[in-house]
Every structure is written in C-alpha cells, then in structure tokens.
A and B are shown apart, each in its own frame.
Chain A
Amino acid sequence: MAIKVLQARGAKGPAVEGYAMVCPTSIQGWASIDIDTGVILEKGHVHQGESFAGKILVVPCSRGSIGWSGYFHSCFEHDCAPIGYVFTKMDSKCGTTVLITGSPCVCDFPDDCDPCQEIHDGDYIRLDGDKGTVEILKRAK
C-alpha cells in the first residue's frame, strides 16, 4: 500500500522499484560524475561522494553541459547508472538520457507537485513509466 501517489506523465516504461536519490539542484553536466562508479564528484553537491548506481534519481531537470546525458550513458555502459529517472520537468538533455539508457522515467509534474519536495532521500518508491505514477512505498528513516 503506497503512502502517497504522485501523478505526472510517463515518458518511458516499464515500472521499477528502488531507493530515491533526490538532488534538488540537479547535477552539473561536466566533471561531476565518476563514470566507473556513479559517484557524484561536484564540489558542494548535497550528494557529493555518493553513488547513484542502482537508485532512482529525482532531479528538477538537467543542468549545464549538453554532455549531461553522456555521463549517464557511460555509467549505464559501466553498470553504475540509476535504474530510473524522475524529472520535475522534461528537457531535451533528460530526454536524451532516457532514450540512450532505455530507463523508465516519469516527468512533467503539475505545478502544485514538486517531486524534489514530495520524495525524500532514501524513500523506497515505485516508478511506473507506463502509468506516469510515482508511489512512495516506504519513507526513509
């Protein structure tokens, strides 16, 4: 039973479950990710030093270089990419990331729903890219 269900647009299915990593300022698109481990290198980032491998990444949008998708693509090739993506608003760098990694994605939330606020770091969530829903199944402690 979900604690809360967020409804948005499904960009790509299928459904996937996992722990959320929430980055309210996104991740910069250059010199910010170790493509061998998925560890965020950006200085001052809320998750600096942590890996997003195997997690569901929750960000408002992309940030910085057009190379943004390239880092996630390389991580995907090295088995250390997120398993799904939640974007507050879709942009073309995010779209390229979803296409090239083939990962499930929910995006384009209504203006009164900010997934970076609603979903907390470490929440266990179910992302359904076909239905466009994000279910918060278990809150982080």
Chain B
Amino acid sequence: MSSEVRLTEVEQRMLDGEYGPAKQLALSRIIDYAKILGATELVEITKGHVCCGSPHANRGESFDYDTWYTKRFLDPTGKVKLDHFNEDTFIIDDVNACDAYQWEWTNQTKEFFDGNKAMIQHATGMGACNGSTCAPYLAGWIPLPGEYFVTVESSNVLFCNSIWGARGNAGGPATTFLSLVCGRSPKWGLHLDENRKGTHVFNIQCASENKTDWDLMGFAIGQRLAPNAVPVLRGDFKRPNLMKIKSFFTALATASGAEMCLIVGVSPEAPTYEVAMGGKEPVAEYDITQEIVDEIRKNLCHPVSGPVDFLQIGCPNCSCEELAYYARCMKGRKVAPGVKFCIYTNIPQLKMAEMSGISQSLHEAGVELLTSGCILRTINLTKGAKAIGLSAVKLAHYSNTEQEIPVYFGTDEELMDAAVRGYWEVK
C-alpha cells in the first residue's frame, strides 16, 4: 500500500484483493506509475482504446494473448490470470498488424490472419469491442467533456482532449492495459484544470483550405513545441472540419509530444484566445508561414518524378464521408495496371460504405478498401513495391525512415491522379 497515493474506499478494497488478483496487481502497478509521475490520487477510467491483436513487432512468436499482453504488462510469472477487463469501461481495440477480413492482398499468411483474429477474439471475450481503428470516435467511442479516458493512439489523445473536452494522458501500451484491468489511472497532467491552458501560441498565416494544409500545419507546430506544451492556434485560418482536424492532430502528434491543442473558436475550452490562455502570457509565440509548410512538404516527397506502384489513403482511418468523396473522385477512372491503391477505414465505417454502395464504386475503380491498420501497421503491405505514394504527413515521415524505396507525398487528389497514371509527377 502506498502512503503517498490517496485511495478511495473502493480502491483500497481492490488493493486488498477483494476484486480478485488481476485487479489487485494492476492497481498496485498503477499506484507505482502514479508515484513515478508524481500523482497523489487516481481517476476512474470509463473509456479505453487499446491494442488487442498481434503486435507490429511479432516476428514469428506465438499468437497467445496472455504471452503478449498479460505477462508482459501485468504479471511476468504468469500466475495471475486475467479473465475480464474492468466492467465499467467501454473498450475498443486499436489498429492491428493485419486486416480484419483478408490476408492475400496485403501479402500476409492465413496463419498470421488466423492468429491475429484469435488474439482479438480473446480480448473481445474479456469485454473489448472489435473496432480495430486508430480513430475510435468514428466507431461510437466518444468520451464526453470531463470524462477520463486512456488510448494508445497519439492523435486520439489530442482529439479527445482538444475537441471532445475529455481528459486523458498518452501513457503507453502497458499503462493503458493496466488501467483497463483495474479501471484507474493516476490523476495527473491533462486530468488537472491547471494543465489545460495554452502555453505556446501559433499565429496561423499559411493556407488552411484543405486537409493537406492542416496536415502540414500540424507537423510545423509540432516541430516547435517544448515538453508538456499546450499549443494555441489563432489567426485568420479557415474553420476545420472533422477530416482536416484529425489529419492535423495526427501530424502534430508525430512531430511532438503534444497531447492537447487549443484551437481558438473550435475547441470547447478555447472559445476565445483569453480563455484558452487562462490569463497567462505565452511561453513562446510563433508564426506559421507558407514558406515553413512548403519546406516540410518538399522534404517529405521524393524529389524526382517517376513511376509509382503502391498508394495509400487513410491516416487516420477514413470516415464514410471521406470514402464517398474518394468514390466521386474515382468515378469513371481506373487504377493503372500493376498499381495497388488502397484506402483504410474501420469496421463500422466500412459496413456503412458497403450498405451505401460506396465500397462497390471504389472497387469498380480498382481501389481496395482495407481496415484495421495502415502502411505502418499492416506488415508486409508494401512488399515488392518499387515506389510509394502517400497523402498523410505521418505516413510519409515515418515511411521515409522505414522504406528504402522512393516515397512520394501530396494531396489526396494528387495521389489519386498518380494511381490512375501509375506515375507521380513532382511539382
């Protein structure tokens, strides 16, 4: 028992073992985590978003859920058995290293597909829901203002803090898992009012018309952030929609450790600049100019035009609204022979697209609809490709490290043109 972390009566009973050894051990680990952070009490977690499938790093090991999660994060001895997540927490799974429906198009084996599915089924048997998405808010997983959540997706922690007004910290796979066993997390960081005010101000002077503008803007801001900073966006930017804002947060989370971003006039905790700052002066102030974002765009894209044979849209996973737009763009067009073009969505959005005829339109154009991942998560996806085309800053940035072949970056529209031509024209 900890003397520094104050427990409620229920938490004390949990720590005493009244609710079973799994919750007991998980809570003791969460208390250790609280001490490391410097927290003195805990909060109840009612929304959780966690990996359940075979990890990205699976290199031929077993497809046993307990080996990968329970033993690694809770009890290395294997003595403590986990048979259920916390009953009061709505849990949905994050993306996996394998599509939810197929393995051939993505260059995977039936064995891997089956093994991954078995692990997810193990988790659903313990109370998780199978959404397999990096954008759980597109699957009905929405923490309300003031609600405490945990997630293993860096853009989602930004989205939930900044747009929903919910409260959560990034943590990591281990501490998220532990929170979902005992339903608790240290009360710390963005759980506290005083840490939810702006620290660094960004005057937006670059274009903010389309999704790519917001994507690049997010990366530019992230590159300038200090530890634990809460950026505030102000200026004459065009009001973003859901598609633009989720791309923005994804890029921001790629370039920084930001977990909350206040967009004046958009974020519920930033109706005005003054409210966003909480009466404090900014630690630093920056102008984000067109020159800055143009330079990022240039650095993300392979400099020489050339053939491209693998293209992906869908970071974060696409909404049905986006799929409908891509279907309209691809109407009457066809992906070039020998070119693979895929769009990632999640299971609920895919179902809606199928029921609406959108999936069929995309298939007719030669576009493959995939779920549960992206080029970074679905292993072997680009096997055999000679050049890759992407329209998400996060994917292009990380692929430039992971891939040895040319990586092109541009707008969704430029990507679709390249898919039809089989050639990326660098502008």
Contacts and interface: CB of A to CB of B under 8 A. Distances in A.
A binds B: yes
B170 A63 contact: no
B173 A95 contact: no
Nearest to A41: B401
Given A60-B226, A66-B173, A67-B173, A93 B36 contact: no
Contacts, number: 120
- Dominant SS at the B interface? helix
B172 A68 contact: yes
B361 interface: no
B253 A31 contact: no
Interface string A86-104: 0111111101111110000
A95 B257 contact: no
A64 B72 contact: no
A66 B149 CA distance: 14
Interface residues of A, number: 42
* B35, B38, B170, B256: residue with the most chain A Cβ atoms closer than 10 Å: B170
Contacts of B402: 31
B254 A64 contact: yes
B60 interface: no
Contact of A92 (B32, B35, B170, B398): B170
Contact of B36 (A29, A61, A95): A95
A69 B107 CA distance: 29
Contact of B175 (A31, A67, A92): A92
Nearest to B174: A100
Given A64-B154, A91-B228, A70 B36 contact: no
* A11, A43, A64: residue with the most chain B Cβ atoms closer than 10 Å: A64
A34 to B, nearest CB: 11
A73 B398 CA distance: 20
A80 interface: no
B174 A61 contact: no
Nearest to B73: A100
Interface string A21-38: 000001011111001000
Interface string A48-85: 00000000000011111111111001100100000000
Contact of A32 (B256, B259, B401): B401
A90 to B, nearest CB: 6
B180 interface: no
A43 B188 CA distance: 33
Given A66-B151, A70-B173, A95 B33 contact: yes
Nearest to A99: B33
A93 B257 contact: yes
Contacts of A105: 36
Contacts of A87: 227
Interface string B128-154: 000000000000000000000001111
A30 B402 CA distance: 10
Contact of A64 (B37, B151, B174, B253): B253
A105 to B, nearest CB: 7
A12 interface: yes
Given A66-B172, A91-B189, A11 B38 contact: yes
17 contacts: A11-B35, A42-B401, A63-B257, A64-B154, A64-B253, A67-B173, A69-B172, A70-B172, A73-B174, A92-B172, A92-B189, A93-B172, A96-B175, A99-B174, A99-B175, A105-B36, A108-B38
Closest 4 A/B residue pairs (Cβ): A96-B172, A61-B227, A69-B172, A92-B169
Interface of A: 9, 11-12, 26, 28-32, 35, 41-43, 60-70, 73-74, 77, 87-93, 95-100, 105, 108
